[in-house]
Structure 1
Amino acid sequence: MTATESRPAVPAQEVPTALPLQPEDPPRVGDFWLRGRLSVTPAGYLYAARNEDGMHAVVAMMAEGSADDAAARERFERAVDEVPADLIVGRNTDDDDDLALWAAVGPVVADNGSSSSEDSRQIAERHGAEILSAVLMDRIPQLGKVRGPDFLHYWESRRRPGLFRLWPLPWPAALKSASWLAILLSLVTMLLLMLAALLIAWLLFKDKPNVDPDPLIPPPSNTVTVTITPTTPPPGTPSTSPSGSPSTTGSPTTPGTSPTPGGTDGTIPTNLPSSGSIPTNPADRY
């Protein structure tokens, strides 16, 4: 590449006319949906907006600090009244003392590349900037000599958007400019994915054995359960004395044979005391 050859021209990056809205910005004021920020000053904000009828406008809205100052609110209303009436397409009044004042300047011709569209946008932005400048009083000419510290409003540090009332709620009016077809297709796609997941889970686990085994039930048998009921020995049978030696009462025993416990019918006596002596002290039992 020689020095005489010219390099291809790089197109300049297009600067957007409006910056994206921030989380603290209201999505809607009055009948206008805010689309982006045009400028920010200590007095308030300029927003690009559009109403539900498709009319574009520039909304000037007071900041949180200026909206709490009665004198600043009065200057804002006076500046709005000075704008030609045919350019004010919407506003709120000072009766909404709990809200930030705003005014919509327009209408702005939709951006179609024509000069009329650019002119209408610049005119609306200029009037909106003048309204906020009246609140700041930064365009008032100096009457005397400049002395002392610079003038600063006490509320200039509170630059968040002013309070606003969002009623009625934006749903479903916010979706009027969106595609209902796209939302419907997304819901149908989510439903199909859920049904496919359920079908796959059923096919995977339909033939799986039970994790917990079935309870074991013993088969029936001819086993007979015999219950021995203790009975009192009949009179005449030998018994054991508390000291452990057999008693002499009853029938004598044959020498060489040991007395069988219980009666002659093979029953086991239950009234026999335990071997050993019974302690007299209750504490000795433990």
Structure 2
Amino acid sequence: MTATESTTAAPPDAPEASVPVPAIPDALPLLPEDPPRVGEFWLRGRLGANAAGYLYAAADESGRGAVVAMMTEGSADDASARDRFVRAVDDLPDDSVLAHNDQDDDDLALWVALGPLRDDDGSSSAADERLIAERRGEDVLSAVLMDRVPQLGRVRGPDFRHYWENRRRPGLFRIWPLPWPAVLRPASRLALILSLIVMALIMAIAVLIAWLLFRNAPEVDPGPVIPNPSGTATVTITPTTPPPGSTGPGSPTATSPGSPNTTGPGPGTPGTTGTPGPVDPSDRF
């Protein structure tokens, strides 16, 4: 064996040299203020942010990945910033822009979906596509912020700053159709269905307990007055006078049929010939 062969030969059990593959950075979770969906893309997480906008990891209904760049609330209200966003998107290659909203939507924040991105299979090409799309989104937001404009002349005076830089919430968005329940995962759908079933069981148990407690309750006294079809109500009155024929204190004197009435009208009664009683002086009229 020659010296050349000895230097080039390798033991059969030696591991092969692997090419390092850059790891795709994980996206940060979405915050409650972030939109769940823009256009046809569902947002999965945050990739980056600055005063001009946000970068989101997204995917459409078919699973095609994309990077979405969206303006903030402050930059979306500035007409000049919107123009810079549109010009930066127009300068991108046509095959890298998957979708974007209309710049005439004055009440909505501008956004653009960049890609295409393949599934993360651990290959270097998938990582490169992801990094290129992120870099293009950063370029769009940097054009809005104008932080990469070269300095002309000497630096004097205070630093330049946009008046809307403190308004860093995501810009206004419109979702139609509503994201529920298409955005839910199968596990979330199962949890939602189980929670609805538990709520229905609790309500049924509460109704059953109320029925068991009040089923033997006495009726309200007096009972409710139920009107008849003629519109009048029948009310039963208990008599307080004794029946005819009974005697007792306070009862009228019973007379036999045919006997004269011994209790005639008193004096001064109209229609009688008796002596009129005394006249009250005040009763002149």
Aligned pairs for 1:80-119 within 5 A: 80-111=89-120, 115-119=124-128
Cα 1:209–1:222 shift into 2, 3 Å: same
The answer to which of 32-41 and 178-187 deviates more is: 178-187
Instruction: Name the count of aligned residue pairs.
Output: 232
* Residue of structure 1 in register with 2:31 after alignment: 21
Cα offset, 1:128, TM superposition: 1.1
Tell me if 1:271 matches 2:268.
yes
Cα offset, 1:43, TM superposition: 1.0
Say which of 30, 50, 65 aligns to 2:74: 65
How far apart, in 2, do the equivalents of 1:141 and 1:126 lie?
A: 19
The CA RMSD measured in Å over matched residues stands at 3.8
Aligned pairs for 1:159-174 within 5 A: 159-174=168-183
Per-residue CA deviation, residues 18-70 of structure 1 (Å, 9 max, x unaligned), is 133233x3222111122333322111111222222222222111122222333
Tell me if 1:54 matches 2:68.
no
Which one has the largest radius of gyration? 1
Would the aligned equivalents of 1:18 and 1:48 in 2 still touch at CA under 8 Å? no
Identity %: 56
Would the aligned equivalents of 1:19 and 1:38 in 2 still touch at CA under 8 Å? no
Would the aligned equivalents of 2:267 and 2:277 in 1 still touch at CA under 8 Å? no
Letter of the 1:186 counterpart: S
* Residue of structure 2 in register with 1:231 after alignment: none
Cα offset, 1:105, TM superposition: 1.6
Say which of 196, 200, 223 aligns to 2:243: 223
TM-score of the aligned structures, taking structure 1 as reference length: 0.65
Letter of the 2:141 counterpart: L
* Residue of structure 2 in register with 1:209 after alignment: 217
Cα offset, 1:172, TM superposition: 4.5
SS in 1 for 2:183: helix
**Structure 2 residues without counterparts, runs of 5 or longer:** 1-24, 224-235, 246-250, 254-259, 270-275
Cα offset, 1:265, TM superposition: 2.7
Cα 1:279–1:72 shift into 2, 3 Å: closer
Cα offset, 1:160, TM superposition: 2.7
How far apart, in 2, do the equivalents of 1:224 and 1:28 lie?
A: 90
SS in 2 for 1:49: strand
Cα 1:265–1:163 shift into 2, 3 Å: same
